Structure formats: structure tokens, C-alpha cells
Structure 1
Amino acid sequence: MHSNSVNKPLLEVKDLCVAYGKVEALTQANLTVGEGQIVTVIGPNGAGKTTLLSAIMGVLGSEGRVCFDGTLESVPEVEILVGRGLGLVPEKRELFSSMSVEDNLKLGGFMRYRKGDRYQDSSLMEIYSLFPRLLERRKQAAATLSGGERQMLAVGRALMAKPKLLMLDEPSLGLAPLITREIFRIITDLRRQGVSILLVEQNARAALRVADYAYVLETGQIAMQGPAAELADDPRVVEAYLGAASKHQEMLAS
């Protein structure tokens, strides 16, 4: 069995377990994200992918160990982790819909500015250069945005906090192929800028294409793992996630 051996682990998850009552939603999950890596978790709906992210963030109670940026979080707590550089873009893309695009972005950087970081304008310009469409729409209410623009805003808002690790939950969910492609291009760009990324994604083909390392989660357990390029060629992965049923994913990812 592989493990993701990296020089500088940014996130190390050891034996993570989550139970809803008597039902184990996640069993003994082990996962590593190295500095500057894109790591993806793929798997069917209901396999526990969102549970995994929520437990890492401390939104859900869990057993096991979460070590982030060299510190063991025995009981992960959202505020502390966010303050230390963990960012999550949830699948629901919750935005403040009556507020403008720019105010949503500024809120993303709020914690940093409260601590005395005064580079709000240059951070905004960085986000706008990544997402030119948000620049065009900066005065509009978030409610008026399309699905793809909402996703860009959700990612942009998380980036305003200058996270060391960005966790993305199903970023391509419900988006048109062209937009999906754009989101994945941005994910690759972010890595170039030194942001490490943990990507939970149903579109296995696109995810394996951008990631360095991949985990396959099935019914709450990590069933397979390895370098993304190897997994993309693994007959079991091809059969389950990249086979005939996912021909439409081929179109989405190309």
C-alpha cells in the first residue's frame, strides 16, 4: 500500500473516525497533504467525502488525530484552524447574497485585517486577476451571480484569508462543462502560487488530471491511494470511475 510520503506535510490525518450514532461514517482514515501539493479525494456520493472535510475542520466530532502545519489538533476547532491558515469552500457555496461581490470578498479577509494586516487592496487585486469576471461584477449583489460565478466568489473569498491549505468540497458540482474547466484551471494556478489544496470531487477524471496524489474513499474507508497519474491508469479506478459511465466526464474534463 502506498502512502503519500512528502518532505513537508502540511496536513496529516491519522486514524480519523466519525460516527453518527452507531453508524460509522468514516473509519480509520489516513491522509496526508504536502506543502505545495494538490491532493484529491474521489469516490461515489455518500462515501463520506464531506464528512471527512467536516471532521478535519472540526465542524464534526471525530476520533483520531488531525495534525495541521506542525501542530496536533486533538480536538480540531474551526476558528483556531481558520486563524492558522486552513480554508474551506463548502459544497453549498454559502455567500451573503444581498451583499456585493466585493463586500463578500472583504469579509473573507476580515480575520486577517483584524489582526492588523493592511494589504486588503492588493489581496483584492490578486483575486480579481485570478477571476476577471468578479472584477466586472464587483458592485453587484452576490444573489445575481450565475452558478459558476458563485463558485469563483466562494473560492475567492476563502483565498482572501491567505490560507496555507484550501479545502474544496465538490467545486464542479452542478457547473457547466466550460465553467468546470475554468475552475480546474484556477486550481492548477493556485498551486503555482504556493497554495496547497485538498480537493474532494465527484468528477474523478478532472480531479485525477490536476492532482499530484489521490485517495479513493468508498463507504467511509480509503479503498485505494497513490500518485494521481497511477490511479488514473489503475484498471479498478478506470472501471469504477472512469469507465463507460463517465464518458460525459471525459467531455467535461477535456
Structure 2
Amino acid sequence: MNSLLEVRGLSVGYGKVEAVRTLDLRVGEGQIVSLIGPNGAGKTTLMAALIGLLPCSGEVFYQGEPLLPHHDVAHRVGLGMALVPESRELFAPMSVEDNLCLGAFSRYRRGDRDYSGTLEEVFALFPRLKERRQQAAGTLSGGERQMLAIGRALMGKPRLLMLDEPSLGLAPRIISEIFTIIEGLRQTGVSILLVEQNARAALRASDYGYVLEVGELVLQGPAAELAEDPKVIETYLGRRATTTPTPQPA
């Protein structure tokens, strides 16, 4: 599988404090890749560096081409990268539809003024947003705000969608709905890098997974295998690993 995003030896720091150290990571075309770990592990820092919000060292390749320090957020969004931050960053007084249309701003700058078809695609994914298209974003429920944040990112027609804690603060039923939508996005050709504390939901939806602790990768592998790893089970899935008893001599 071809790499859409490849990270080699990435380090990110705040002053003298390294939040992420010499990290290697890969997202293949059409893949959902999850990054799990505890609070403070450096997951959000990594996402911010990849989209160009934080300086970093190391190498980042997107579609086989290097992303350089002077490639700012606007440049990366123009290349087809999109980040949905955990804070969602919606414009609360503006309507749902206006928030969505802002997601197509990079396309507008390139001269693409016809994004009505994409708007209808987003409404097909999130029927509740269509019902509330004239409603102020600030009046939506938590789940609806998350749908709006994802929908706004999709308006830019990204090839790589980075989701930072999409389940944060949501009820279990809504989390299940959000992850069903995330899995469905694979069919549209979008690749997804998913940062998530809900390890069970993340690994269930993903093809491959990484475990980040204190800024360093400690485990990686196919998501189905990580979900059966004893350390992942005990630390992140909230249950004890089961082991097969050793046969005793008669």
C-alpha cells in the first residue's frame, strides 16, 4: 500500500521540553490509523506539528513529497490535509451551513466556487446537520457539534483527515454513531489519522495502531493484534489479559 503520510524521526518540543521524540509513523492510502495513549503522551502535539501549527524536527512526507518548515497551515490544507481539533473550533454565532461553507475556503481561494455538491454529500453523511442547516452552531448538542466539525473539514475534500479526540465528552450512543461514520469515510477514499483515548473504539475502527507514552512510541501493529496485546488490554481496554494455563504434569 502506498504511503500518503510518512513521518521519520519527528521530534516536537515546547522550549527545552521535548513532547514528542524521534517518532516514526505511516498512514497508507485508504487506511484508518489510530494513535492511542494517556493524557500528556504527546498525541495532540503531534497532530499540531503535522498540520503546521508547531515547529518540529525530523522528516514528514505527504504524497511522497517533503513537508518543509515554511509550509504553513494554509499550504498543507491546500495539499489536502485537514485537522479536526478536540476543541472543534466552530463559529458559534454562525449557522451550520455557514460553518460548513467556511470549510471550503481553501477551494474558493483556488478558484473552485462550485462546492454545492460537496455540501450535499456532507448532509447525506450527517442528516441532522441538514435539518439544522440554519441553526446557530452554538446551539447544537455535543454530538452534533462534532458532526459539524468533521463535516466542515470534509468540505475541503481532504485526502488526509486528522481527528483529535472525536469522542471527547460524548455519550456512548453518540460515540458509536461517530465511529460508524468514521469507518464509512474509508469508502470515500479519505485516509484518517485518529487520535483517541477510547482505545477500544479506535482500534475497532482502524487498520493499524500506534501506542504513544510520554512522547515515545512503545507499541505498534495491526489494530486487531494490538487489541489482543496484554499490555494494551490491561492499560487501555479496562480488562485483564487472559492467559492460557500451563499444563501441569500428571
TM-score w.r.t. length of structure 1? 0.92
Write the distance in 2 (CA, Å) between the matches of 1:146 and 1:88: 21
The CA deviation at 1:157 is 0.2
Partner in structure 1 of residue 24 of structure 2: 30
Greater Rg over alpha carbons, structure:
2
Provide the secondary structure at the position in 2 that maps to 1:11.
Answer: strand
Does 2:34 correspond to 1:40?
A: yes
The CA deviation at 1:118 is 3.6
Structure 1, residues 20-70: CA drift from partner, whole Å, max 9, x if none?
A: 122111000100000000000000011000011011111011100111112
TM-score w.r.t. length of structure 2? 0.94
Partner in structure 2 of residue 58 of structure 1: 52
Partner in structure 2 of residue 183 of structure 1: 178
Partner in structure 1 of residue 246 of structure 2: none
Provide the secondary structure at the position in 2 that maps to 1:81.
Answer: helix
Provide the secondary structure at the position in 2 that maps to 1:67.
Answer: strand
Structure 1, residues 184-219: CA drift from partner, whole Å, max 9, x if none?
A: 000011011110000000000000000000000000
Q: 1:213 aligns with which of 208, 232, 237?
A: 208
Partner in structure 2 of residue 128 of structure 1: 123
Partner in structure 1 of residue 248 of structure 2: none
Q: 1:114 aligns with which of 103, 109, 113?
A: 109
Partner in structure 2 of residue 145 of structure 1: 140
Does 2:74 correspond to 1:84?
A: no
Q: Which runs of 5+ in 2 are unaligned?
A: 241-250
The CA deviation at 1:180 is 0.4
Provide the secondary structure at the position in 1 that maps to 2:158.
Answer: coil
Q: Which of the two has greater helix per residue? A: 1
Write the distance in 1 (CA, Å) between the matches of 2:227 and 2:201: 10
What percentage of aligned pairs have identical amino acids?
65
1:142-181 matches, within 5 Å, as 142-181=137-176
Does 2:69 correspond to 1:101?
A: no
The amino acid of 2:119's aligned partner reads: L
Displacement over 3 Å in runs of 4+: none
Write the distance in 1 (CA, Å) between the matches of 2:191 and 2:198: 20
The amino acid of 1:211's aligned partner reads: S
The amino acid of 1:181's aligned partner reads: S
Write the distance in 2 (CA, Å) between the matches of 1:116 and 1:14: 34
Write the distance in 1 (CA, Å) between the matches of 2:152 and 2:43: 22
Q: Which runs of 5+ in 1 are unaligned?
A: 1-6, 246-254
Aligned length: 239
